[in-house]
Structure 1
Amino acid sequence: MRRSDGRARWALVAAVARTVPWRAVGAGAVVGLLVVALPRLLSRTPDAWLGVTLLRAAALVFALGLAFLLDDPARRLTAPVPTRRWVRSGLRAALAAPVAALWWAAALALLPEDARPPVGAVTLEAAATAVLALAAAAVAVRFTDEPEPGPSVAAGLLTLALLAASLLPARWDLFVPPGDPNWQAAHVRWAVVLLSATAVWTACTPESLRRLGPRPAS
């Protein structure tokens, strides 16, 4: 019995792994690393401000790839399967997590040490951005019938990032440079973003008990 249960679990993991949109995630990872590698490619030595800006841009690009993580062209076929959506979505996130960790380590390594911002703080920013993308994707999957909401989610995330960078008042600014007096306060706000996005993602992962919108005519 235990052996058959183990085989069933591995079969589920393998089946979910085949549905993960690795091309979108991989494209975000590659472009993100290219962004961080720009100073090396141009034979320039970045300073601390440029270093944190490049890492933030790379984290956003990678998050745009993660916005496609819950895309499932066969969603209408997989909806009635006995495996719950939160299990399938959780497996997708678990499969992408090691890739994200390795990618982030590579992005940090590409920056010279002198240009590298405080690792813990900038990692918090990257994690919040990634989870925000996953939360937005989970909202789209829960409240719409779109099997591949990734492009819309990515566009919305990019728009939100641009608005946050340009329109937030100074007291709510998230994108402060290292050494700024508001650095610590900004990362408290980043922690709030991370916790809020995690809560939304958790709440929206299960199947909805009823579908929003008009019911089809019988």
Structure 2
Amino acid sequence: MRGERGAGEVRSLVRELTLPVLRTLPWRALAAGGGLGLGLAGLLRLYGDSLAGWSALTLLRTAALAHALGLAFLLDDPARHTTAAVPTRRPLRTLLRVALVTPVTVLWWTAVVLLIPSDLRPPVGPVTLEAGAACALALAAGALAIRLTDEPRPGPSVAAALLFTAVVGPLSLPARWALLVFPQDKRWEASHERWGMVLAATVVVWVACLGEPVRRRRLFRRRTGSYVPSGH
């Protein structure tokens, strides 16, 4: 009975929070990243006859990165220090943000993929894995920034770090660990095994960073003389 009552309270709380959280999502950043991705795919639809197949994969990867840069702003909250006092736990608020934006991301990616002419479209499954890893990396980086800092809007810094990593990271890897390869390359399958590991690792980091910021927990311990889990 206690478990059922607790689950009912969580459902009720989610219903109450959904509309306020929906209003505070960074729709402009998400629209900018998503719009850029759709625009790139649209260009390939218009001028596909004059482009080689590798351009489709490059544009899909660029589109995924653009959307991931938008997701880097997902946890921005100008009123962060005010909402810290609310009784709702941070993990629930974060999970709700991700849950609300996930269907939008799925629909967006489906539209981007379908805009690519079928004769130029690269293998959808592996490319979707790459896109998922990029988005997960953005979410994990944002959660880490919230966890370790008191910055209410870490989005710009997270986006800059993500862009730097996306550009410099693949170039610094040895050839045998290459991530950005093409379907004709014999390393294609092995590279996506590594993409799977990247996705798994970023999800683990994201989950580990769902709790309250480290500094706030330390302040709470100093004030009370002992640690009691926060109710935020």
TM-score (norm 2): 0.86
Query: Per-residue displacement from partner, 1:5-56 (whole Å, max 9, x unpaired)?
Result: 5654312111111111111111110011111222234464433211111100
Task: Provide structure 2 residue ranges, at least 5 long, that are not aligned to the other structure.
Answer: 224-232
Is residue 160 of structure 2 the alignment partner of residue 155 of structure 1? yes
Alignment of 1:87-126 (within 5 A): 87-126=92-131
Aligned AA (2:85): P
Q: d(CA) in 2 for partners of 1:209 and 1:61?
A: 30
RMSD: 2.3
Letter in 1 for 2:144: V
1:47 paired residue among 49, 52, 57: 52
Matched residue count: 215
Contact 2:146 2:213 in 1 (8 A): no
After TM superposition, list the pairs within 5 Å mapping 1:175-186 onto structure 2.
Answer: 175-186=180-191
Q: Partner letter of residue 58 of structure 2?
A: T
Say which SS state the counterpart of residue 114 (structure 1) adopts.
coil
- Relative distance call for 1:121 and 1:135 in structure 2 (3 A) is same
The one-letter code sitting in structure 1 at the alignment partner of 2:187 is N
Matches within 5 A, 1:1-218: 5=9, 8-42=13-47, 44-208=49-213, 210-211=215-216
The 8 Å contact of residues 143 and 211 in structure 1, kept in 2 or not, is answered as no
Aligned equivalents of 2:185 and 2:216: distance in 1?
47
Task: Compare 7-16 and 60-69 and name the one that shifted more.
Answer: 7-16
Query: TM-score by structure 1 length?
Result: 0.91
Cα distance in 2 between the residues matched to 1:156 and 1:212:
26
User: Which letter does structure 2 place at the counterpart of 1:205?
Assistant: L
Distance 1:146 1:195, change over 3 A: same
Instruction: Output the CA distance in 1 between the equivalents of 2:18 and 2:190.
Output: 40
One-letter code aligned to 2:44: P
**For the Cα contact (< 8 Å) 1:72–1:148, is it kept in 2?**
yes
**Is the radius of gyration larger for structure 1 or structure 2?**
2
1:61 and 1:53 mapped to 2: Cα distance? Answer: 12
Residue-by-residue CA offset, 1:62-108 (whole Å, 9 max, x unaligned): 00000000000000001121111110010000000000000000010
| Cα separation, 2, equivalents of 1:9 and 1:214 | 28
Percent identity over paired residues: 53
Deviation at 1:164, TM superposition (A): 2.1
